[in-house]
A and B are shown apart, each in its own frame.
Chain A
């Protein structure tokens, strides 16, 4: 069970949060092709290693935020606010 550092509340058990899939998925222009649109809907990078993902502190502050976590070791590398792009200088994780 992960111990997640909510940027507003501090470390809490994973059971206080709800998972929100990958971060920084850009919603394409709605006039885009079927191929691009379904790529946005369905295709995923799914890396083994550092991965940027969204979480919401459902049973706490109720805020969405971003986490850079290694999907192989579960080590949490960075946590940053929704809307930001993170400080990680190595620019790891999905784009």
Chain B
């Protein structure tokens, strides 16, 4: 793997940049693998990476029917945080945040993590009580969180609406939270995985599974059939379809999540600001764009477009938080198809099919989980049992009723 560094950038520049090598190989699909990872988004790539790098699995294939990172990994608002309510959640997401903190070095790829903090606003005394409950939940689990007064909030966010419709009672801040660059995370993991021997095969669609009894033994693809020992499904909104091919059902619903950016301006906003009551989250990217998102659209959809009614509602919320943005212009609006579970917590681990593992149901919050998703799934595949950090996210929880309902904690998507 060709090393990335400032010195090498300077050196290559002198040679007109002609010496840079491909970031990943373009291999042909072989007929046998130890592990097949289906899905070339952040989670799939991270899983393949850790399988090869951390566990030394020799023959790993990653199959992506389009091009890597073109799904939700390439469309999200890049919020990176771990301030979740349930200990099982904050433990998992903080493992991810810690991996993010070292990811640039681990992958030798600049993921541009800027930890400017995330602020969750409370708009009444009672909301502040709920926020305090949430902050303490995070602290009890050993993760950072703090309650801010209105004065402290306004010092950190000077452009916050001075006369909001709903008064500001206080906020929860996680200072270690922030923003990173989604494409860099995807490409960094892809480059690392490829360098450690993973065959990244793009334009390869999975059409079926070969089973022996209740065990998966092969995958049928548009490039031919593969025999394999283990399979990981990491395909987000396509999970129901692929599970159907494997013979089981999921409790997920696919719908649309929108995001939008303004034209880029000089820095005005440091932390990411989110409000459950006002249903929007707003941040500023390092390119200067104001990044805005809100809740998911309501009805089932794979269209990846989004209703203008939702767009307008989210923008209204953003202007309620930051009225001075009114004269900025919307530059780009896009959407992804997200798979949402009944408790808005992911599904990770084993499936009714032996040697077939699943990672899905991230809904609106999968980006921040990419490193931990890959790490825990790789371990799960190698051990054939769930990594301790993901046991609570088992598919079987829906049968016992043991839902991890983060609805209170993630009132808005991110």
Interface residues, chain A, CB within 8 Å of chain B? 1-2, 13-15, 19, 21, 34-35, 38-39, 41-48, 51, 53, 71-74
Asked whether any CB of chain A lies closer than 8 Å to the CB of B2, the reply is no
What residues of chain A lie closer than 8 Å to B47, measured between beta carbons? none
Asked whether any CB of chain A lies closer than 8 Å to the CB of B8, the reply is no
Binds A, one of B124-132, B175-183, B216-224, B246-254: B246-254
Asked whether any CB of chain A lies closer than 8 Å to the CB of B342, the reply is yes
What residues of chain B lie closer than 8 Å to A2, measured between beta carbons? 299, 307
The listed residue (B240, B303, B401) touching A73 by CB distance below 8 A is B303
- Contact across chains for A1 and B250 when beta carbons are under 8 A apart: no
Distance A93 CA – B305 CA, assembled complex (angstroms): 21
Distance A47 CA – B253 CA, assembled complex (angstroms): 9
- Contact across chains for A46 and B308 when beta carbons are under 8 A apart: no
- Contact across chains for A14 and B249 when beta carbons are under 8 A apart: no
- Contact across chains for B249 and A45 when beta carbons are under 8 A apart: yes
Given the interface contacts A1-B309, A38-B399, A42-B398, does A48 sit within 8 Å of B302 by beta carbon?
yes
Among B249, B339, B399, find the residue whose CB has the most chain A CB atoms closer than 10 A. B399
Distance A48 CA – B300 CA, assembled complex (angstroms): 9
What residues of chain B lie closer than 8 Å to A38, measured between beta carbons? 398-401
What residues of chain A lie closer than 8 Å to B400, measured between beta carbons? 34, 38
- Contact across chains for B398 and A46 when beta carbons are under 8 A apart: no
Interface residues, chain B, CB within 8 Å of chain A? 238, 240-241, 249-254, 298-303, 305, 307-309, 339, 342, 398-401
Distance A45 CA – B309 CA, assembled complex (angstroms): 26
**14 residue pairs from A and B, CB less than 8 Å apart:** A1-B308, A1-B309, A2-B299, A13-B309, A14-B307, A19-B299, A38-B400, A38-B401, A42-B251, A42-B398, A45-B240, A46-B240, A46-B241, A46-B339
- For the residues of A in contact with B, the DSSP-based class is mixed
What residues of chain A lie closer than 8 Å to B240, measured between beta carbons? 44-47
The listed residue (B300, B303, B307) touching A46 by CB distance below 8 A is B300
- Contact across chains for B398 and A43 when beta carbons are under 8 A apart: yes
The listed residue (B252, B301, B401) touching A71 by CB distance below 8 A is B301
Given the interface contacts A71-B302, A72-B303, does A34 sit within 8 Å of B399 by beta carbon?
yes
Among A1, A34, A35, A42, find the residue whose CB has the most chain B CB atoms closer than 10 A. A42
Residue of B nearest to A72 (CB): B302
What residues of chain A lie closer than 8 Å to B305, measured between beta carbons? 74
The listed residue (B250, B254, B299, B301) touching A43 by CB distance below 8 A is B250
Residue of A nearest to B341 (CB): A42
What residues of chain A lie closer than 8 Å to B250, measured between beta carbons? 43-44, 46
- Contact across chains for B300 and A71 when beta carbons are under 8 A apart: yes
Distance A75 CA – B308 CA, assembled complex (angstroms): 17
- Contact across chains for B309 and A43 when beta carbons are under 8 A apart: no
- Contact across chains for B249 and A43 when beta carbons are under 8 A apart: yes
What residues of chain B lie closer than 8 Å to A14, measured between beta carbons? 307, 309
What residues of chain B lie closer than 8 Å to A73, measured between beta carbons? 303
Given the interface contacts A14-B309, A42-B342, A71-B254, does A19 sit within 8 Å of B298 by beta carbon?
yes
What residues of chain B lie closer than 8 Å to A47, measured between beta carbons? 240-241
What residues of chain A lie closer than 8 Å to B303, measured between beta carbons? 71-74
